[in-house]
């Protein structure tokens, strides 16, 4: 169902949590999806930065990934309790068992999938990805894909976010929400 065809009388009764690897398009697609559904949008990483008063990269370098994930869980729990909205989760959030269980209980999880080439092309545009600050970022990304795929597969909806317009991904999400009866009157 194209975004323009979403009946205004249909709405969500809980948040949507977009999951997937960095570069999959969660933030861009999330903003467009939220606008189409008339909902608010929030990027979990941006909220973590606000809460911590420092960038994700700084949190990683100063405190390590474990401390980042702990703060991430707390921020996501708060965001999920704030009613229907679209939330873009960080790439590793849904791979955490506790966070995944919380999302499963309180939100509709949507996995935006993309192939390795697409992800690498997208993430190469910015140098803000702490996990990719390595000698071989492509190898790191491939490892993350392999490690996290089983968790991402637990999402309620799977859509292709590979190369192409983000509007296509939004349309796929809307169609899947409609097909699963997750948009309510």
Domains observed in the chain: 3-179 (3.40.50.300)
Nearest to 2 by CA among 33, 24, 26: 33
Is 91 assigned a ligand-binding role in the annotation?
Answer: yes
Q: Is 148 annotated as a binding residue?
A: yes
Q: Is 45 annotated as a binding residue?
A: yes
Q: With pLDDT > 70 as the criterion, what percentage of the chain qualifies?
A: 86
Residues with pLDDT less than 70, the chain = 1-11, 124-135, 163, 184-185
pLDDT of res. 134: 63
Residue-level pLDDT at 127: 63
- Cα Rg for the chain, rounded, in angstroms? 16
67 is in an annotated binding site: no
Q: Is 27 annotated as belonging to a binding site?
A: yes
pLDDT, residue 131, reads 53
> pTM to 2 decimals?
0.88
Ligand-binding annotation for 138, yes or no, is no
* Residue pair 92/21 in contact by the 8 Å Cβ criterion: no
β-bridge mates for residue 88, sequence order: 18, 43
Binding site annotation covers 122?
no
Output the pLDDT for position 146: 94
Q: What is the pLDDT of residue 1?
A: 47
The answer on whether 26 is annotated among ligand-binding residues is yes
For residue 159, the model assigns a pLDDT of 96
69 is known to lie in a ligand binding site: yes
Q: Which pLDDT score, from 0 to 100, does residue 162 have?
A: 75
pLDDT tens-digit map of 49-63: 998 899 888 888 899
Q: Exposed, middle or buried, 11 (CB in 10 Å: 0-12/13-18/19+)?
A: middle
């Amino acid at each position: 169902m194209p975004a323009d065809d979403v009946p205004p009388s249909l709405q969500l009764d809980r948040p949507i949590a977009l999951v997937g690897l960095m570069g999959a398009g969660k933030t861009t697609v999330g903003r467009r999806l939220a606008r189409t559904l008339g909902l608010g949008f929030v990027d979990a990483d941006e909220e973590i930065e606000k809460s911590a008063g420092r960038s994700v990269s700084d949190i990683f370098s100063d405190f390590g990934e474990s401390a980042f994930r702990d703060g991430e869980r707390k921020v996501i729990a708060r965001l999920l309790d704030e009613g229907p909205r679209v939330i873009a989760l960080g790439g590793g959030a849904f791979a955490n068992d506790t966070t995944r269980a919380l999302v499963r209980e309180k939100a509709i999880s949507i996995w935006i999938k993309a192939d390795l080439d697409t992800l690498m092309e997208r993430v190469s545009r910015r140098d803000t990805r702490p996990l990719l600050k390595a000698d071989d970022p492509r190898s790191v990304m491939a490892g993350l894909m392999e490690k996290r795929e089983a968790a991402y597969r637990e999402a309620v909806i799977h859509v292709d976010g590979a190369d192409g317009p983000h509007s296509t991904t939004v349309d796929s999400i809307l169609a899947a929400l409609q097909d699963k009866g997750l948009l309510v009157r």
